[in-house]
């Protein structure tokens, strides 16, 4: 699995003019299931996201995780993270998991975070989503499991 993580002050997802998800401080996780990924990959991604120490402690050092700060997670499926541009200018997405598998694995990441006591909102798999965020820091990380 791949994920692009952004520490946010707030983030939301809107589909067809309706806001379907919104969080305050926490992380926006754009998540891509890759061909061959399993539930174990999704569980590992959820654990990694929950334990990332990217929030400031009282001294201002990035030393706290989501649970320690009471932050939330907005998990949004993002198959374009599988984009391969090595053969020209039009990305290929053949390394992304098939849609049915991708949806299940993205849901598993969200469920894993929720199971660790983190408040989770999600985007809508396969929808044309408008994602809004205020990136705090900015802190942006690329993660693969």
Q: How far apart are CA 117 and CA 50, in angstroms?
A: 9
What pLDDT is stored for residue 96 in this prediction?
96
> Does the annotation mark 125 as catalytic?
no
Give the other-Cβ count within 10 Å of 62's Cβ. 13
Q: How far apart are CA 5 and CA 17, in angstroms?
A: 25
Active-site choice (6, 55, 79, 121): 79
> Does the annotation mark 78 as catalytic?
yes
From 3.40.50.2300, 1.10.10.60, 2.30.31.10, 3.50.80.10, which CATH number describes the 2-144 domain?
3.50.80.10
Per-residue b or e along 97-127, where b marks 16 or more CB atoms closer than 10 Å to that residue's CB: beeebbeebbbbbbbbbeebebebbbbbbee
> Model confidence over 79-133: pLDDT tens digits?
999 999 999 999 999 999 999 999 999 999 999 999 999 999 999 999 999 999 9
Say whether pTM exceeds 0.75: yes
What pLDDT is stored for residue 21 in this prediction?
98
> Model confidence over 19-66: pLDDT tens digits?
999 999 999 999 999 999 999 999 999 999 999 999 999 999 999 999
Give the other-Cβ count within 10 Å of 45's Cβ. 27
> Does the annotation mark 93 as catalytic?
no
């Amino acid at each position: 699995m791949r994920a692009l993580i952004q520490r946010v002050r707030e983030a939301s997802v809107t589909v067809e003019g309706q806001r379907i998800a919104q969080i305050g401080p926490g992380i926006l996780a754009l998540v891509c299931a890759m061909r061959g990924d399993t539930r174990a990959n999704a569980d590992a991604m959820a654990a990694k996201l929950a334990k990332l120490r990217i929030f400031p402690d009282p001294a201002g050092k990035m030393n706290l995780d989501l649970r320690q700060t009471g932050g939330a997670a907005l998990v949004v499926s993002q198959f374009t993270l599988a984009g391969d541009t090595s053969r020209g200018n039009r990305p290929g997405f053949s390394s992304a998991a098939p849609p049915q598998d991708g949806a299940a694995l993205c849901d598993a990441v969200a469920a894993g975070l929720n199971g660790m006591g983190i408040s989770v909102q999600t985007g809508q798999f396969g929808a044309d989503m408008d994602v809004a965020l205020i990136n705090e820091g900015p802190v942006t990380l690329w993660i693969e499991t």
